[in-house]
Amino acid sequence: MGTEELPMDEKAKRMRDLLSSFYSPDPSMSDSNNSPSKYASLDAINTLSFDPDRYMNLLVHKSNLEGLLQRHVEMAAEIKNLDTDLQMLVYENYNKFISATETIKTMNSNIVGMEANMEQLLEKIMSVQSRSDGVNTSLFEKREHIEKLHRTGNLLRKVQAYGDSSFRDCKRASEEAVLTIIKNLQGKLFSDSESIQSRAEAVVLLKQLDFPVDNLKSQLLEKLGQFLSQLQLEQWEMSTDSNRSNEPSNQGNAEATHEASMREFVEALRAFRVIFPDSEMQLVKLSTELLTKKLILLIHAGVVWTDVLLIDEVLPEAGLADFFLEAAHVAIKQYVASRFSHLIQDISDSLMAQTREKDGEEYSLLVTLEASKKTVLQGSMDVLLVKFENPGPDFRQLLDDKLDLLIKLKGYVIDWVQGGFQDFFRSLDDHFLFLSGKDKTISQDQGITDGLHGEKVLAGLVLVLAQLSVFIEKSAIPRVTEEIAASFSGGGVRDYEHGPAFIPGEICRIFRSTGEKFLHLYVKMKTQKISVVLKKRFTTPNWVKHKEPREVHMFVDLFLQELEAISIEVKQILPQGLIRRHHRSDSGGSTTSSRSNPLRDDKLIRSNTPKGRSQLLETHLAQLFKQKLDIFTKVEYTRESVVTTIVKLCLKSFQEFVRLQTFNRSGFQQIQLDIHFLRTPLKEMAEDEAVVDFLLDEVIVATSERCLDPIPLESPILEKLVQAKLARTKAQNPPTS
């Protein structure tokens, strides 16, 4: 059994035995199983019944000299081990003892300190008690005094109760009087039969009586409003009447009554203004508000304008028409403005939903884009419909009446709506810029509240904005233009001087440039992010002392991950472009690839020879012969174009970073390996394989130029390392995903 046990276990067991033998007074306890062996065995050495002589005899008998010697050596070693173990034990115990003594010592000293503390505490408690006693005694007098005061107070209250009832009667009577006065005054104010002066006086009096005048005012306004609608109804009936019966006398009659009621209305308005002279602004505002509400109805009724005109004729000095027109201006203008500002808010909300929703959802970009598109289009249509459907036909009808005023108003409305759209799209553009954090001055003005400005603008949002701008340019504005053309063919008032207020061409241009700006911004943001990865990669190691490349550096993973993320993001929103990849065998691609590869090899070999002097000349020659590839082509609104642009820019950055370093041979080989690895995935990602190939070659060339000893890795080794990397990535991400 002992032989089968692991040596470690044996040792542990022995330790345990030793320990127990050391601590237990009764040794039989530990050795109860090991019955004293009567028969001779060499294993009996650890038992209690160990007899040295017998053991020796047995040993001498059993073993040969070699065995004995070996046994001796073993024994010696064992003895030594045992010695050290015992020593260790003693030492440990001693240590424990020392620490125990120390603990006791510290406890002792702590207790000594505590005693003093306790004494102090006791002292303090005593002093607190004595002080509280002192306070008690010193306050005793005052307490008595207070009690006395309280008693007097009670007495006084009793006395007051007697006198009080009479005071209260007086007060009640006077309040009643005030109430009646107020009531009378109110009645006076509301009765139309009273003169304006007296009503104004009443208001002043009411004010003096601290009566809430504002309340009255609003009541009065309401009354005015009622009056207005009543008036309107009356007019409407009247106009239908007059339409039915064409008798001039009747019409004249009706007009006379109508005129009277209109005059009454004006009178009421005037009275109101006189009565509340201090709150004219408020009045204007309220009345405009009222008018706004009524306005569409009014316009609908269509007739009121004739009245306005009539009144204008009768009472030119009242300036009613102007006033009314002005009110209408303000109302419609406000209405249009608020409509548009709401629309901007809506769009902004639907855009911001993107940032609020966490980026976990894959389709959130698409959702945002669609929502925003819908908001833009629907919102603009709503504005158009409300403004055009209701007044539209009436305007046309009114146009037949050839009333100057109406034409004038119609012109204004056209201008407002068109100008509204112009301003709307302009401010939408500004708002987009603000959202993207590009226009820092605006965010400075408005104060950064959302916390998404500065560096933290989501690239996805920028992409959505870019696409939305395109949508506005391509679809929304033509739609709006069409609608405007359909509803209002005539020009506005300012036509002759400035041209129409809504210039779709200009807005389109603005949004086209904004869209491009956003697309560039997106590309820029993404490139910047990758640039940071590249920069870290190139500034961290010492390239002159680089170790031999063992594997593809892990930064390629980061690089590819970023690109992958971009293509996912882009795939959500941007449309697919024309597939050009399969046409790579046409002339443009082939010339470049034939240029780059052999030349690169040439160059690498050349640079090793001492005749490297002509190297640059050759590069020049090569550049003369090569068709200059335009790396920085225009970005288009397609997935491929955006991804390709980003890949190209990053590879160019790669080259530039390389040019800032100096490499030893291994450093060069590392770059060569990394580039070799990147070649396949990048070509898959980018649309233009030739350019990617070219740029990757350029990186290698740049590295070899910056290398002290540019000897490339053999391609089998390259391949092997790349395969190893691929195998590892595959193992990490099983193909199930």
Partner 1 sequence: MQGGSSGIGYGLKYQARCISDVKADTDHTSFLTGTLSLKEENEVHLIRLSSGGSELICEGLFSHPSEIWDLSSCPFDQRIFSTVFSSGETYGAAIWQIPELYGQLNSPQLERIASLDAHTCKIKCVLWWPSGRQDKLISVDEENLLLWSLDSSRKAAQVQSKESAGMLHYLSGGAWDPHDVNAVALTCDSAIQFWDLRTMKKENTIEHPHVRNIDYDSKKKHILVTAEDESGIHIWDLRMPKFPAQEFSGHSHWTWTVKCNPEYDRLILSAGTDSAVNLWLASAPSGDNPSESLVESPTRQSNPLLNSYTDYEDSVYGLAWSSREPWIFASLSYDGRPCAFILETCGHTGGGRISEAISSEKMKANSLVLWYGTIPSHCKTLLADFEFIGIHTIYFI
CA-CA-CA-CA dihedral for 645, 650, 654, 655, to nearest 10: 20
User: Is 499 a binder of partner 1 (CB under 8 A)?
Assistant: no
Nearer to partner 1, 653 or 672 (CB): 653
In the block, residue with structure tokens 């390239």? 543
Q: Which of 188, 706, 713, 722: binder of partner 1 (CB under 8 A)?
A: 706
- Is residue 708 at the binding interface for partner 1, with CB under 8 A as the rule? yes
Residue 619 touches partner 1, criterion: CB under 8 A:
yes
Under 8 Å between Cβ of 482 and 421: no
618 binds partner 1 (CB under 8 A): no
Closest CA relative to residue 462, chosen from 380, 374, 574? 574
Q: CA 648 to CA 573: how far, in whole Å?
A: 21
Quote the least distance from Cβ 703 to partner 1, whole Å. 11
| Residue environment code for 622-655, b if the CB has 16+ CB neighbours within 10 A, otherwise e | beeeeeebeeeeebbbbbbbbbbbbbbbbbbbbb
Residue 656 in the binding site for partner 1 (CB under 8 A)? yes
Q: Does 653 bind partner 1 (CB under 8 A)?
A: yes
Give how far Cα 144 sits from Cα of 136, 155, 568, Å. 12, 17, 86
- Per CB under 8 A, does 512 bind partner 1? no
Contact 416, 332 (CB under 8 A): yes
- Name beta bridge partners: 707: 663
Taking CB under 8 A as the binding criterion, the range among 107-115, 211-219, 587-595, 620-628 that sits at the site for partner 1 is 620-628
Tokens of 426: 């302009």
Q: Does position 613 bind partner 1 by CB under 8 A?
A: yes
Site for partner 1 contains 229 (CB under 8 A): no
What lies within 8 Å, CB to CB, of 353 at 6+ separation is: 368, 371
| Closer of 307 and 429 to partner 1 (Cβ) | 429
∠ at Cα 36 (35, 41), nearest 5°? 110
- By the rule CB under 8 A, 410 interacts with partner 1: no
Q: Which stretch binds partner 1 (CB under 8 A): 97-105, 286-294, 656-664, 718-726?
A: 656-664
Restricting to residues 551-610, name those near partner 1 by CB under 8 A: 607
Tell me the site size for partner 1, rule CB under 8 A: 32
- Residues 418-447, one symbol each (x = binds partner 1 by CB under 8 A, - = not), give ----------------------xx--x---
Q: Cα torsion for 364, 368, 374, 377, to the nearest 10°?
A: -160
Q: Which stretch binds partner 1 (CB under 8 A): 302-310, 316-324, 345-353, 613-621?
A: 613-621
Beta bridge partners of 663: 707
Using the rule CB under 8 A, is 707 a contact of partner 1? yes
Q: Which is nearer to partner 1, 168 or 440 (CB)?
A: 440
Q: What is the per-residue burial (b if ≥16 Cβ within 10 Å, else e) of 189-219?
A: beeeebebeebbbbbebbeeeebebeebbee
**Residue 73 near partner 1 by CB under 8 A:** no
Q: Which C-beta is closer to partner 1: that of 243 or that of 513? A: 513
- CB atoms under 10 Å from CB of 569, counted, come to 23
Q: Using the rule CB under 8 A, is 531 a contact of partner 1?
A: yes
- Phi-psi sector, 625: left (phi>0), alpha (psi -120 to 50), beta: alpha
Nearest Cα to Cα of residue 674 among 529, 594, 559: 559
Q: Please report whether residue 703 would count as binding partner 1 according to CB under 8 A.
A: no
**Minimum distance, C-beta of residue 498 to partner 1, in the bound complex (Å):** 15
For partner 1, which is the closer residue by CB, 551 or 705?
A: 705
Site for partner 1 in 347-376 (CB under 8 A): none
Taking CB under 8 A as the rule, does residue 273 contact partner 1?
no
Please say which residue, 288 or 514, places its beta carbon nearer to partner 1.
514
Q: Which of 146, 544, 717, 724 binds partner 1 (CB under 8 A)?
A: 544
Task: Tell which one of 632, 731, 732, 734 touches partner 1 (CB under 8 A).
Answer: 632
Q: Which of 659, 647, 653, 669 is nearest to 552 (CA)?
A: 669
Residues near partner 1 (CB under 8 A)? 440-441, 444, 520, 524, 527-528, 531, 539, 542, 544-545, 607, 612-613, 616, 619-620, 623, 628, 631-632, 649, 652-653, 656, 659, 662, 705-708
